[in-house]
Amino acid sequence: MRRFVLWGILSAALSLAAGCSVIAKVAFGIDEIKEYREDKVQSFLAESQRRVPCNQIVATAEQQDSLIRLDCDTSMMQHRAQPVQILYFDGDSLVFYHINCYTQSGLLSYDWNNKGSFGQFPPSPTVVPDWHGHMTLEAYRRCLPGLHSESRYTVLILWSNMLRKVSTGAVKAVAANVSGREDCMVWLVNTDHWWVDYMHRQ
């Protein structure tokens, strides 16, 4: 059963690539990662820090699995397993949630601001799952030791080298949105270990 559910999650994640054709893979920058690459993770952090002040946590496969299953039923696991996610917290409360599935603005193009969400701070919600109001920053802290914030707003960008191009787009969207603010702390959360572990189990 677990294998079936995870396959459905992966299939949904890769649906972003319009069927995973060769052209789509190039357009969206999809890379079926086979191993964790520390150099790639650190280079992404360096690139991101040139755009916005941020810290990074590399989640273990077990930690990411806990996040996927955190206070939500099986029907919502598809959302929580997406390779790229943006979450804004005001204090402990989740006030904005966006995932890679909803960035597509054309057959082979993507735009994190395709619905104008990032035109204000915090961004206006475009996805409001049933559990939206129940997710807290504290819940993420329990799954990700080391995550902390002294700022009013905390932004988490979950990303993977499997979708590095889309991940970069997420960082750019957040960087523009939080530019000039001193009440916001940004964290990158890399989930490559989970995806590598999943690929090895196929």
Query: In this predicted structure, what is the pLDDT of residue 41?
Result: 97
**For residue 195, what are its two tokens?**
């995806």
Q: Which helix (H) or strand (E) holds 65?
A: helix 61-68
DSSP helix/strand/coil, 8: helix
DSSP helix/strand/coil, 2: helix
| Predicted structure pTM score | 0.85
In degrees rounded to 5, what are phi and psi of residue 28? -95, -5
Whether residue 185 contacts residue 149, with contact meaning beta carbons closer than 8 Å, is answered with yes
At 24, the pLDDT band (50, 70, 90 cuts) reads: very low
Domains: count for the chain: 1
Q: Which residues contact 184 (CB under 8 A, 6 or more apart)?
A: 151, 152, 153, 154, 155, 178
Higher pLDDT residue, 70 or 104?
A: 70
Query: In this predicted structure, what is the pLDDT of residue 129?
Result: 56
The pLDDT tens digits for 160-187 are 999 999 999 999 999 999 999 999 999 9
Whether residue 172 contacts residue 40, with contact meaning beta carbons closer than 8 Å, is answered with no
Whether residue 60 contacts residue 193, with contact meaning beta carbons closer than 8 Å, is answered with yes
Query: In this predicted structure, what is the pLDDT of residue 4?
Result: 41
Query: In this predicted structure, what is the pLDDT of residue 27?
Result: 52
Q: Is 90 exceeded by the pLDDT of residue 26?
A: no
Higher pLDDT residue, 3 or 97?
A: 97
Domain hosting residue 49, numbered range: 2-200
